[in-house]
Amino acid sequence: SAVISQKPSRDICQRGTSLTIQCQVDSQVTMMFWYRQQPGQSLTLIATANQGSEATYESGFVIDKFPISRPNLTFSTLTVSNLSPEDSSIYLCSVVRYTEAFFGQGTRLTVV
């Protein structure tokens, strides 16, 4: 299994500001994944973060809005910038061990 510590667990932010979410894994992993889970929607992959290279973003997600850092093999951050109410969602980080994806507890973001 994998233990993933994600924080903050929730936050309320003003529009126009940014929120940085941290994800710490208990052992080294090559790839870390960031998902968004909107109410009534599927988990949607935002980007894949590899250590030592730029993140790979999925269609509809751009680096300026969702900058990602991956300074080492156990840690990553996702920043949601220039917040608007449409960014209110749950954000989750994930790693894959063999065939199983493990998730952090999620960060519930509310933009007011």
Partner 1 sequence: QKEVEQDPGPLSVPEGAIVSLNCTYSNSAFQYFMWYRQYSRKGPELLMYTYSSGNKEDGRFTAQVDKSSKYISLFIRDSQPSDSATYLCAMSAGESAGTASKLTFGTGTRLQVTL
Q: Which residues bind partner 1 (CB under 8 A)?
A: 4, 6, 9, 31, 33, 40-45, 48, 92, 94, 96, 98-106, 108
Which CB atom, from 83 or from 106, has the smaller least distance to partner 1?
Answer: 106
Q: How far is the CB of 18 from partner 1 (least distance, A)?
A: 23
Q: How far is the CB of 30 from partner 1 (least distance, A)?
A: 10
Which CB atom, from 13 or from 43, has the smaller least distance to partner 1?
Answer: 43
Q: What angle is formed at CA 101 by the lines to CA 25 and CA 45, rounded to 5 degrees?
A: 95
Phi, psi of 101 (to 5 degrees): -95, 130
Q: Is 23 exposed, middle or buried (0-12, 13-18, 19+ CB in 10 A)?
A: buried
The Cα–Cα gap between 62 and 46 comes to 9
Which CB atom, from 17 or from 27, has the smaller least distance to partner 1?
Answer: 27
Q: How far is the CB of 6 from partner 1 (least distance, A)?
A: 8
- Residue 47 structure tokens: 């980007």
